[in-house]
Structure 1
Amino acid sequence: MSEPKINVRNLNLFYGDNHALHDINLNIQSHSINALIGPSGCGKSTFLRTLNRMNDLIENVKITGEVNVEGHNIYDSNTDVVSLRKKVGMVFQRPNPFPMSIYDNIAYGPRIHGTKKKSVLDEIVEKSLKQAALWEEVKDRLNKSALGLSGGQQQRLCIARLLAVEPDVLLMDEPTSALDPISTLKVEELSQDLKKWYTIIIVTHNMQQAARISDHTSFFLNGILVETDKTDKIFTTPSDQRTEDYITGRFG
């Protein structure tokens, strides 16, 4: 098997005195969808945020262990966090488009990173919206406010905005929990398409979603990674009784 895209070793996270993640060890392969499942408060979103150092923004957080992205420990003191978050981008639970035009939402990241030429920006905007399966729906209103889009369209816009800065890894924190079933299906289909180019890690409360779209599933409980395996194995013959109890609905 090839070297993992992300290799997490002995990762611990503390919020003050609260030990929130316990000795997490996990490999994530390139061009795959990896689902993180478990009951509320089990640490899966906290873990997701360790992968691009979003927890740095929270006071009194202490992290030990390593998160290696393509062999580089992102917690080394010489890590450029801005570059890291460009490479490992995040889509949040609720769509958060900027209060500006659809075009300017997508062009925002490339402009910050130094792209000023309009023809190049035009190309990036079109490509990103096409990759996010949104181009046909918005191509005639690129200069209209992004806030006028439906919730599902706004979430795909946020994905397109992320793609515009050419990340390698997409972190998705329950990206469909605020969406209706049709919009949810579009984001799921989009995720399966995007794994041709990107590595995707998705936190989901929706077990059927994890079973439908992911290649690998990791089950978290009380800040512990109970087990991780190919998704079909986790959902048919899990190795740990706690996993089976969770996916069969005995708790959670």
Structure 2
Amino acid sequence: MATKHKIKVDKCNLFYGENHALHDIDLTIESNNIVALIGPSGCGKSTFLRTLNRMNDLIDSVRINGSIYVDGTDIYDPSTDVVSLRKRVGMVFQRPNPFPMSIYENVAYGPRIHGTKKKAQLDEIVERSLVQAALWDEVKDRLNKSALGLSGGQQQRLCIARLLAVEPDVLLMDEPTSALDPISTLKVEELTQTLKDKYTIIIVTHNMQQAARISDYTSFFLNGFLVESDKTDKIFTTPSDQRTEDYITGRFG
């Protein structure tokens, strides 16, 4: 059984060279919740999101201290297998980034890399993942067609299906609907509601209405600090910090 606290962040600091970008972040995230990260541009939301699967490791000048635990294991421990971590804690980016190959091969790519070779098994994974991503009915008759022929919204759901195919525990979403039209945005939002039964979802969004609609908890970042984190309805109705209220009501940001 998964621990109640899926992720625990303890005094996390991040530096880009001399720039202190995240300051003493403390945050606990429970399983099977959607957590929205909000705040003005450049406040550290996406940087923080990327600490959760060590994507910042790819930037030479980055230094991190503090601890981040996923299911009780410190992911910054030197013994951590980063490939395995990124399989468990996957990411969906701001712009859809399907591979230039067929819809089927996009979804089968991850399982193949991790050792699944049998076609029947891959067929089952591809169908299950596309069903989970609410895309199967739209693409089942053209699985061998290029993924680049899909609409932007379909491409984003394909990227989600590609992530689900490797059976992660946590989905990180970095403004996943910012490049999408309103109808596609709604489909992705609806999708998050069905996925949280099985996954823990952390989403960066600039859209206050979206955060209020889809998240269970909201964390407000400002200038690299986590100002407050609480149940979404409390953050949006009676926040503890005046700066949170000022941001949510549009006084800045």
TM-score bin, normalised by smaller chain: over 0.9
Matched, 1:31 2:32: yes
CA distance in 2, matches of 1:80, 1:21: 24
Q: In the TM superposition, what is the alpha-carbon distance from 1:59 to its structure 2 partner?
A: 1.2
Query: Deviation string for 1:206-228 (max 9, x for gaps)?
Result: 00000000000000000000000
Q: In the TM superposition, what is the alpha-carbon distance from 1:105 to its structure 2 partner?
A: 0.1
TM-score in terms of structure 2 length:
0.99
RMSD: 0.5
CA distance in 1, matches of 2:114, 2:5: 28
Structure 2 residue identity aligned to 1:142? L
Matched, 1:51 2:52: yes
Q: In the TM superposition, what is the alpha-carbon distance from 1:33 to its structure 2 partner?
A: 0.2
- Partner of residue 147, structure 2: 146
Q: What is the DSSP-based 3-state SS (H/G/I as helix, E as strand, rest coil) of the residue aligned with 1:100?
A: coil
Q: In the TM superposition, what is the alpha-carbon distance from 1:193 to its structure 2 partner?
A: 0.6
CA distance in 2, matches of 1:65, 1:96: 32
- Partner of residue 245, structure 2: 244
CA distance in 2, matches of 1:52, 1:235: 28
- Partner of residue 172, structure 1: 173
Structure 2 residue identity aligned to 1:167? P
CA distance in 1, matches of 2:61, 2:120: 45
Q: What is the DSSP-based 3-state SS (H/G/I as helix, E as strand, rest coil) of the residue aligned with 1:196?
A: coil
- Partner of residue 131, structure 2: 130
Q: In the TM superposition, what is the alpha-carbon distance from 1:170 to its structure 2 partner?
A: 0.0
- Return 5+ residue gaps in structure 2 as ranges: none
Query: Deviation string for 1:172-219 (max 9, x for gaps)?
Result: 000000000000000000001100000000000000000000000000
Q: What is the DSSP-based 3-state SS (H/G/I as helix, E as strand, rest coil) of the residue aligned with 2:5?
A: coil
Runs (4+) of structure 1 exceeding 3 A deviation are none
- Partner of residue 215, structure 1: 216
Q: In the TM superposition, what is the alpha-carbon distance from 1:47 to its structure 2 partner?
A: 0.1
Structure 1 residue identity aligned to 2:90? G
CA distance in 2, matches of 1:73, 1:126: 34
- Partner of residue 13, structure 1: 14
- Partner of residue 92, structure 1: 93
Query: Deviation string for 1:87-106 (max 9, x for gaps)?
Result: 00000000000000000000
Q: What is the DSSP-based 3-state SS (H/G/I as helix, E as strand, rest coil) of the residue aligned with 1:5?
A: strand
CA distance in 1, matches of 2:60, 2:149: 35
Matched, 1:184 2:185: yes
CA distance in 2, matches of 1:110, 1:249: 44
Q: In the TM superposition, what is the alpha-carbon distance from 1:3 to its structure 2 partner?
A: 3.3
CA distance in 2, matches of 1:115, 1:123: 11
Q: In the TM superposition, what is the alpha-carbon distance from 1:146 to its structure 2 partner?
A: 0.1
CA distance in 2, matches of 1:3, 1:9: 16
CA distance in 2, matches of 1:64, 1:200: 24
- Return 5+ residue gaps in structure 1 as ranges: none
Q: What is the DSSP-based 3-state SS (H/G/I as helix, E as strand, rest coil) of the residue aligned with 1:197?
A: coil
Q: In the TM superposition, what is the alpha-carbon distance from 1:135 to its structure 2 partner?
A: 0.1
Work out the percentage of aligned pairs sharing the same amino acid. Answer: 84
TM-score in terms of structure 1 length:
0.99
